[in-house]
C-alpha cells in the first residue's frame, strides 16, 4: 500500500517538488493558455500556464495530457523523448473556437518525438515559416530540417502506436522569405538542401522500429517539401500504417512518400498541386504519392491532381523495390509526370479501376523538363548504376484513361519487364500515342525484344493506334468510337470541356463492358505467371 501511495504522489509532483496540473481519468492534465495564462500558475484549467517552457519542469507519465487552449499561440517545441501514453490536444477557453497554434519558426519541430509509444496528437494547428538554422540539431540527423511533427527511432526497442488526428500543418519552411533556390536543386533525386516538412517519421536505428501509425482527418498546406514522409529500414520496415481522409495542397515536394513500409492503407486522401513552385523556397517537384522498398500497400479512393515538376510528378507512382502494391479506385488528373508508373524490381503491383484524365502532359526539353510525361510506363530502373530489372507481374485493368486534344500520349515499356497483364481498360486518346524510351537517368536503349508472359486483351480503344514499336501489343480488343457517349454517360467523368466534375471514386464499369471477362492470374516472385 505504501508503494502505491508513493507512485500516485509522483504523478502529481514535478521534479522540483511542486504539484502541477490536475487529475484526469488516467494520469494528469496540464493546461496552457497563451492569452490568459501566467507562468506563475500551476497548470490547472482555472489557472493555466502561459508558455510551453514550463513543460521542462514537469515529469510526464503514462496517461498525462498536454492541453492547449483554443485561440492560443505558442512559440516553442513540445518534446517527448522516451515517453509513453501522452496526449497533446486542445481545450475550450471562453467561447474561442479557433484551434491552438504552435509556431515553431526557427525550431526543429513543433512536436518532436523520439523512442516513444502510444502518442496521440489531435486538434492543433502548426506553422513554422522560416527561421534558418536550428539551435538544436539531433546528433543522428545528417542534415538540418524543420518539421511540423518529427518522430525518430534511435534505440533498439519496438515502439507502438502513433496517432495524429485533425491536425492542420501550414506554411512550414526552413529558409526565410526571399530565399531563392538554385535551379539545379530540382534535378537532384530528393533535394540536397534544407527544407520544411509536414510530418516526418524516420528510423535511424538498425534494430528499433515503430508499428501502428495513423494519420487522419488532417490538412497540409504550403509546405516547402513533403507533407507526409516515412523512411523506415529495408530490413525492418515500419508496420501497419493508416493514412486516411487527409488533405494536401501546394507542397513543394510530393504529397506523401512511404519508404520501407509494410501493410499500408492510404484511403480517401485529397492531394492537389504537389511539386508546387509558387514559392522559391519550395523544391518544385513531386508526385502525389509514391512508395519505395515497401510491401503490401493499398492506395485506394484518393484524388491525385495537378502534380508538377521536371521529372517524376505522377499522380501516384510505384518506385523500385516494392511488392504487392495496389493502386485502385483513384482519380488521377492533370499530373505532369503521368498516370501508370511502375519502376524496376517491383513484383505483383497493380493499377486497377482508376480514372486518369489528361495525365502525362510534360514534354522533355520544355520548361526545364528533363523527363517525358507518360500515360503508361513500365520501367526497369532499379537505382542509379544498377542493372535494370523488371518490373515483374504488373496488373493493369479496369481503368478509364482519357487524354485530350492538347496532349500527345506517351508510352514506355522497358525490355526488362516480365509479366504484363492489361485488360478491360478504356484508352480514349484524342491524339495518336507515341512510344518513348523510359528516361530515368540512363534510359532503356530500346530495340526489339519479346517480353515474356503478356496478356493484353479485352480493352476498348477509340481506334487502333497503339504504337507499333512498343514492346507489348494489344490483341482481341475493341476499336471503335461509337461508345464515346456511353463512356461519358456511364462513367460520369467529363464535362463539356473534357474535365472531371465528379469526385466520387467508385466508378462503375460501363454497361458495354458487363459481358467482358477479366482473368485473375496469380503470380510468383520469380516473375512467372501461373494460370495460363
514 shares a domain with 494 = yes
> Looking at 227, 262, 286, which one is the last position of a domain?
286
**8 Å CB contact between 216 and 246:** yes
231 shares a domain with 155 = yes
SS3 state at 494: strand
> Looking at 286, 321, 353, which one is the last position of a domain?
286
157 shares a domain with 108 = yes
Provide the number of structural domains found in the chain: 3
Residue 300 lies in a domain: yes
427 shares a domain with 314 = yes
Give the separation between CA 429 and CA 448, rounded to whole angstroms: 25
Q: Residue 398 to residues 326, 353, 395: CA-CA distances in angstroms?
A: 13, 4, 10
Spatial CB neighbours of 189, under 8 Å, sequence gap ≥ 6: none
463 shares a domain with 361 = yes
Residue 516 lies in a domain: yes
Task: Residue count of the chain, please give it.
Answer: 532
282 shares a domain with 296 = no
Which pLDDT tens digit goes with each residue over 166-224?
999 999 999 999 999 998 999 988 889 999 999 999 999 989 999 999 999 999 999 99
> Looking at 286, 318, 335, which one is the last position of a domain?
286
* Per-residue pLDDT, 507: 31
Confidence of residue 8 (pLDDT cuts 50, 70, 90): very low
* Per-residue pLDDT, 280: 96
Domain membership of residue 83 as a residue range = 1-94
Residue 420 lies in a domain: yes
In this predicted structure, which of 8-17, 232-241, 310-319, 396-405 has the lowest mean pLDDT? 8-17
**8 Å CB contact between 530 and 394:** no
Instruction: Determine phi and psi for 513, rounding to 5 degrees.
Output: -95, -5
Prediction pTM value: 0.89
Residue 99 lies in a domain: no
Average pLDDT over residues 321-350: 96
13 shares a domain with 114 = no
Residue 315 has pLDDT above 50, yes or no: yes
328 shares a domain with 231 = no
Cell of 482: 461509337
Residue 143 lies in a domain: yes
CB-side exposure of 369: number of CA atoms within 13 Å? 22
Residue 522 has pLDDT above 70, yes or no: no
Residue 220 lies in a domain: yes
* Per-residue pLDDT, 46: 95
Give the separation between CA 399 and CA 459, rounded to whole angstroms: 10
Locus of grid cell 485502385? 328
* Per-residue pLDDT, 137: 74
Give the separation between CA 95 and CA 160, rounded to whole angstroms: 36
The single-letter DSSP state of residue 52 is G
402 shares a domain with 272 = no
Strand partners, 478: 460
Which pLDDT tens digit goes with each residue over 380-395?
999 888 899 999 999 9
Burial of 214 (0-12, 13-18, 19+ CB in 10 A): middle
* Per-residue pLDDT, 183: 87
The single-letter DSSP state of residue 407 is -
Give the separation between CA 297 and CA 291, rounded to whole angstroms: 9
Residue 277 has pLDDT above 90, yes or no: yes
312 shares a domain with 402 = yes
Residue 504 lies in a domain: yes
**8 Å CB contact between 230 and 262:** no
Cell of 88: 497533446
Q: Tell me the average pLDDT of the chain.
A: 87
What is the pairing mode between strands 270-272 and 303-305?
Answer: parallel
Residue 238 lies in a domain: yes
* Per-residue pLDDT, 16: 59
Give the separation between CA 65 and CA 12, rounded to whole angstroms: 13
Cell of 20: 502541477
In this predicted structure, which of 250-264, 322-336, 397-411, 479-493 has the lowest mean pLDDT? 479-493
**8 Å CB contact between 177 and 132:** no
**8 Å CB contact between 371 and 336:** no
275 shares a domain with 202 = yes
* Per-residue pLDDT, 510: 33
308 shares a domain with 279 = no
Amino acid at each position: 500500500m505504501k508503494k502505491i501511495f508513493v507512485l500516485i504522489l509522483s504523478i502529481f509532483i514535478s521534479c522540483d517538488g511542486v504539484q502541477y496540473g490536475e487529475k484526469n481519468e488516467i494520469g494528469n492534465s496540464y493546461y496552457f493558455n497563451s492569452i490568459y495564462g501566467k507562468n506563475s500558475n500551476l497548470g490547472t484549467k482555472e489557472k493555466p500556464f502561459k508558455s510551453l517552457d514550463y513543460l521542462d519542469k514537469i515529469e510526464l507519465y503514462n496517461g498525462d495530457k498536454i492541453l492547449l487552449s483554443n485561440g492560443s499561440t505558442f512559440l516553442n517545441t513540445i518534446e517527448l523523448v522516451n515517453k509513453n501514453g501522452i496526449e497533446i490536444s486542445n481545450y475550450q477557453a471562453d467561447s474561442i473556437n479557433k484551434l491552438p497554434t504552435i509556431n515553431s519558426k526557427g525550431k526543429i519541430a513543433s512536436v518532436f518525438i523520439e523512442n516513444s509509444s502510444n502518442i496521440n496528437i489531435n486538434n492543433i494547428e502548426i506553422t513554422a515559416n522560416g527561421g534558418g538554422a536550428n539551435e538544436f540539431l539531433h546528433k543522428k540527423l545528417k542534415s538540418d530540417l524543420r518539421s511540423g511533427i518529427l518522430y525518430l527511432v534511435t534505440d533498439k526497442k519496438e515502439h507502438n502506436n502513433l496517432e495524429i488526428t485533425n491536425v492542420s500543418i501550414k506554411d512550414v519552411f526552413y529558409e526565410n522569405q526571399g530565399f531563392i533556390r538554385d535551379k539545379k536543386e530540382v534535378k537532384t533525386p530528393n533535394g540536397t538542401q534544407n527544407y520544411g516538412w509536414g510530418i516526418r517519421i524516420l528510423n535511424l536505428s538498425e534494430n528499433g522500429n515503430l508499428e501502428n501509425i495513423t494519420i487522419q482527418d488532417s490538412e497540409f498546406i504550403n509546405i516547402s517539401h513533403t507533407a507526409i514522409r516515412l523512411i523506415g529500414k529495408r530490413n525492418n520496415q515500419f508496420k501497419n500504417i493508416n493514412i486516411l481522409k487527409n488533405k494536401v495542397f501546394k507542397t513543394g515536394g510530393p504529397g506523401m512518400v512511404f519508404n520501407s513500409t509494410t501493410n499500408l492503407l492510404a484511403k480517401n486522401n485529397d492531394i492537389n498541386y504537389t511539386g508546387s513552385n509558387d514559392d522559391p523556397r519550395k523544391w518544385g517537384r513531386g508526385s502525389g504519392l509514391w512508395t519505395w522498398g515497401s510491401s503490401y500497400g493499398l492506395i485506394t479512393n484518393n484524388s491525385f491532381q495537378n502534380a508538377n515538376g521536371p521529372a517524376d510528378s505522377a499522380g501516384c507512382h510505384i518506385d523500385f523495390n516494392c511488392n504487392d502494391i495496389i493502386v485502385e479506385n483513384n482519380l488521377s488528373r492533370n499530373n505532369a509526370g503521368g498516370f501508370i508508373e511502375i519502376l524496376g524490381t517491383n513484383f505483383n503491383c497493380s493499377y486497377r479501376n482508376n480514372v486518369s484524365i489528361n495525365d502525362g502532359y510534360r514534354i522533355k526539353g520544355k520548361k526545364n523538363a528533363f523527363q517525358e510525361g507518360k500515360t503508361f510506363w513500365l520501367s526497369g530502373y532499379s537505382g542509379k548504376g544498377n542493372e535494370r530489372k523488371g518490373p515483374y507481374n504488373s496488373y493493369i485493368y479496369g481503368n478509364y484513361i482519357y487524354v485530350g486534344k492538347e496532349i500527345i500520349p506517351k508510352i514506355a515499356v522497358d525490355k526488362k519487364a516480365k509479366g504484363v497483364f492489361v485488360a478491360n481498360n478504356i484508352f480514349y486518346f484524342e491524339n495518336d500515342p507515341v512510344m518513348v524510351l523510359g528516361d530515368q537517368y540512363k534510359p532503356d536503349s530500346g530495340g526489339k525484344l519479346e517480353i515474356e508472359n503478356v496478356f493484353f486483351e479485352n480493352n476498348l480503344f477509340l481506334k487502333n493506334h497503339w504504337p507499333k514499336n512498343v514492346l507489348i501489343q494489344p490483341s482481341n480488343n475493341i476499336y471503335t468510337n461509337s461508345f464515346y457517349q456511353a463512356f461519358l454517360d456511364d462513367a460520369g467523368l467529363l464535362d463539356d470541356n473534357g474535365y472531371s466534375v465528379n469526385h466520387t471514386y467508385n466508378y462503375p464499369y460501363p454497361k458495354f463492358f458487363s459481358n467482358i471477362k477479366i482473368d485473375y492470374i496469380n503470380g510468383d516472385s520469380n516473375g512467372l505467371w501461373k494460370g495460363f
